[in-house]
């Protein structure tokens, strides 16, 4: 019997295992009908202690499209959490009913903690506070692979809230494993990349700036992000920083013709809607890849296969 595998942070999968997931996602995209019953009789628990549109819907759609079923909540006040139940007790209970669980929580480290109480049911981290969001990274990597055909040899501009942006932390961890990837971290001083992430990187692999216009012509990939209002202590500080970057057609004039513009969404003001018509804007496609890669992930964690 295999040991239960959880996905808490991107490096829980080796590069080879990731390639396997992406190849499976390719096959699901090419022939979705083959997968209609793979998860028949299986149950996914969707435990969302924080708001979500894409992540929750794409996970639930993924399980349903695999023929499985979904239980869960998107408002913890409707669960026994509101009666004071601990996370450990909730997880141990859920594991009596479900085969796999997706957990989003405002507190950093919660998914890891939950995995300690779940010896048999895989736990997927769908975002733990401002820390990590590994399944968004699977989505992002599948998008990069689709538009750029490779993970190596890219200059990636990561722009916006690098301090609290968990999708960014996970993306940087994952992409730092590929050869000749250089990051340009673009943020105001107050929202710089945390030191614990920088410490994991080769210091020659990144530079930091607050000036998007100065570096945009160097980029192969521009990853924009929302200023994470819910993580700020001071609303005033948020209001001061929220529109620090607004990507528009004028700023894009200097960018390469084959640069891709990514964003995990939701977008607030950081990408002007006029950019949506630019062929380089791939953020809505990116959201679509999210469902397919999560189908592949569920199959992988449940050790399910179909003949390809
Ligand atoms: C992100 C998140 O929840 O961290 N959203 C998502 O899952 N696509 C990004 C964000 O909220 O800014």
* CA nearest neighbour of 243 among 262, 270, 222, 265: 270
Q: Could you report the per-residue pLDDT of 243-271, keeping only the tens digit for each?
A: 999 999 999 999 999 999 999 999 999 99
Q: Indicate whether 200 pLDDT > 70.
A: yes
Length of the chain measured in residues: 308
- Cα–Cα distance, 237 to 18 (Å, whole number): 38
Tell whether ligand 1 has an atom less than 6 A from the beta carbon of residue 267.
no
Q: Of 133, 138, 161, 229, which is best to mutate to test ligand 1, by the most ligand atoms within 8 angstroms of its C-beta?
A: 133
Q: What is the mean pLDDT of residues 92-108?
A: 97
Q: Which percentage of the chain shows pLDDT scores above 90?
A: 95
What is the number of the ligand 1 atom nearest to the C-alpha of 55?
7
**For position 79, what pLDDT does the model report?**
84
User: Where do the domains of the chain lie?
Assistant: 10-133+289-301, 135-287
Distance 281 CA to ligand 1 centre (A): 18
- Give the chain's mean pLDDT: 97
Distance separating alpha carbons of residues 160 and 60, to the nearest angstrom: 29
User: Phi-psi category of 116—alpha, beta or left, where left has phi over 0 and alpha has psi -120 to 50?
Assistant: alpha
CATH code for residues 135-287: 3.40.50.1370
Q: Please indicate whether residue 133, judged by its CB atom, sits closer than 6 Å to ligand 1.
A: yes
Q: Give the tens place of pLDDT for each residue, 210-245.
A: 999 999 999 999 999 999 999 999 999 999 999 999
The answer to whether domain 10-133+289-301 has CATH 3.20.20.140 is: no
Structure confidence at residue 2 (pLDDT): 62
Euclidean distance between CA atoms 13 and 15, whole angstroms: 7
């Amino acid at each position: 019997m295999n040991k239960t595998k959880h996905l808490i942070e991107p490096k829980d999968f080796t590069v080879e295992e990731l390639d396997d997931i992406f190849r499976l996602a390719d096959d699901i995209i090419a022939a979705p009908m083959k997968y209609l019953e793979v998860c028949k009789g299986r149950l996914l628990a969707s435990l969302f202690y924080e708001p979500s549109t894409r992540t929750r819907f794409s996970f639930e759609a993924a399980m349903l499209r695999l023929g499985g079923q979904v239980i869960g909540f998107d408002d913890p006040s409707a669960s026994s959490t509101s009666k004071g139940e601990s996370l450990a007790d909730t997880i141990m209970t859920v594991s009596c009913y479900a085969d796999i669980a997706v957990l989003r929580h405002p507190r950093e480290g919660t998914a890891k903690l939950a995995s300690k109480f779940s010896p048999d049911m895989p736990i997927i981290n769908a975002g733990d506070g401002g820390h990590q969001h590994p399944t968004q990274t699977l989505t992002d990597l599948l998008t990069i692979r689709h538009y750029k055909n490779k993970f190596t040899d890219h200059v990636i501009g990561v722009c916006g809230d690098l301090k609290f942006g968990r999708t960014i932390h996970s993306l940087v961890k994952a992409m730092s494993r590929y050869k000749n990837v250089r990051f340009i971290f673009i943020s105001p001083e107050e929202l710089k990349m945390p030191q614990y992430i920088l410490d994991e990187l080769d210091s020659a692999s990144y530079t930091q700036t607050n000036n998007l216009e100065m570096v945009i012509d160097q980029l192969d990939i521009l990853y924009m992000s929302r200023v994470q209002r819910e993580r700020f202590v001071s609303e005033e500080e948020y209001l001061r920083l929220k529109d620090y970057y607004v990507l528009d057609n004028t700023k894009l004039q200097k960018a390469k013709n084959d640069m891709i513009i990514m964003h995990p969404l939701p977008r607030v003001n950081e990408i002007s809607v006029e950019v949506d018509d630019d062929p380089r804007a791939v953020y809505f496609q990116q959201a679509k890849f999210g469902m397919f890669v999560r189908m592949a992930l569920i199959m992988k964690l449940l050790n399910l296969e179909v003949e390809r």
